[in-house]
Structure formats: C-alpha cells, structure tokens
Amino acid sequence: KAGVTQTPRYLIKTRGQQVTLSCSPISGHRSVSWYQQTPGQGLQFLFEYFSETQRNKGNFPGRFSGRQFSNSRSEMNVSTLELGDSALYLCASSLSGPWDTEAFFGQGTRLTVV
Amino acid sequence: TQLLEQSPQFLSIQEGENLTVYCNSSSVFSSLQWYRQEPGEGPVLLVTVVTGGEVKKLKRLTFQFGDARKDSSLHITAAQPGDTGLYLCAGTSGTYKYIFGTGTRLKVLA
C-alpha cells in the first residue's frame, strides 16, 4: 500500500512569510500527527488530528496551526516565519493515534527560512 | 527540560559487537516506542511496549520496558552496518501527550 506522502520535500522561505505543508496519510488512517525535528531540540510533537479534529497539541506558539480534511489529508501552516523555524517537518499517520502499534512517518519537508 | 533522556548520545562500534541504548525518565509513561531513523528519511517504528517489565524481541533487537514504566532499553546483538542510524524512544502519557527522547546516533563499522 502507498506510504505517507509529504509535499513539498524541500522549501525555502523568507522570514516573515507564511508556509503551508501537506501530508497525505495511508489510506484508512484517521490520525495524522505533525512533528518538528531540529539538531538542537530533536524531534518535538506539534499536534495531532483525528477525524478532522485537533485532539492533542504540543508546546508550540500559535503561529503553528493545522487542519485535517474529510479524506484525512492534513495541512500544517506556519505564519510569520522566523529563522528558528528552519527544520525538518514530519507527519505520521496511524489508525488510532501516535501511540499506535502501526504508525508510519513520511519522509518530511525540509523548510529553510532565510 | 528533556523528559526522555537517552544514553549514550553517540555510539561507534565494530560489526559483530553488542550494544545497549537506554531511555530514562522521571515520569511514568503509558506506552513507549522505539524508532530508527536514517538520513533523509522519516523515523521507522520498531516496537511499542505498554506493560511494565515487558520484553519484546525483534530478530537481533531486544526491547525492555521498566517495571515502573519510567525507562526502557534497546539491546542489539551482533550489530551490523545496516543497524546504523538514529535511534529514538518516544513516550505517551496523559500529561505530556507524546514526547521523543534525545536520540542515540549509532554507527556500526564493517
């Protein structure tokens, strides 16, 4: 079966701009989680959506937001980009949640803010 | 404050050696997972443990969840170059949602 697809793979944005990242989960998976990975802070949980509702949220500012559509595809938006937002953004899909025994990650979107 | 500390941070060993990676916390987790991540890829889930004291084996990998559900270990027997990667533990709890460990970067030399 097709895996988790994230688009785009690479992105360069200017400080102050906004960006939208997309995640298409595995067919049938209703949970999509988003993560930020940086060399300094490691992998951090941003938020999780289940059946179009944000169910869990990590400790990130309100500039980070997301949504999930009825087909379970999810988007993540970052407004007013800062240099520190440069990171690999990963999404994962699963049937019931990030703690699921069957959770799959995409390859990520590498965002560079200049 | 990192809630899940992994040790060691870096590990470079020869093919055929054994190794153990630790994941420790002062908090109790309802479940804990181990992932391996290779450069340019997303993490791949290796195992989920949910019961205190639980031991799971996956070929040459042995995972253990501490009795108090605050720590876990990953033991690799006869490491191979294909085991090279970043190993991450991740825990779930009602309070902290979903937390990843600090990571252990393993390099196995042929």
Summarised one tens digit per residue, pLDDT across range A49-103 is: 999 999 888 889 999 999 999 999 999 999 999 999 999 999 999 988 877 777 8
**∠ CA B59-B64-B66, rounded to 5°:** 175
Q: How far apart are CA B94 and CA B72, in angstroms?
A: 18
State residue B96's pLDDT score.
53
State residue A40's pLDDT score.
87
pLDDT, chain A, mean: 93
State residue A71's pLDDT score.
94
Neighboring chain A residues of B90 at a CB cutoff of 8 Å: 43, 98
CB contact under 8 A, A43 and B100: yes
Q: What is the pLDDT of residues B48-90, one digit of tens each?
A: 999 999 999 999 999 999 999 999 999 999 999 999 999 999 9
For chain B, how big is the Rg over CA atoms in Å?
13
Positions of E strands within chain B: 5-7, 10-14, 19-24, 31-37, 44-49, 55-58, 61-65, 71-76, 85-93, 97-100, 104-109
Token duo for residue A71: 């087909």
CB contact under 8 A, A44 and B40: no
Q: A-contacting residues of B 68-87, CB under 8 Å?
A: none
Residue A19 pLDDT > 70:
yes
String of b and e for B53-68 (b: at least 16 CB within 10 Å)? ebeeeeeebbbbbbee
Q: Which of B79, B78, B84, B90 is nearest to B106 (CA)?
A: B84
Q: How far apart are CA A79 and CA A64, in angstroms?
A: 7
B98 touches chain A (CB under 8 A): yes
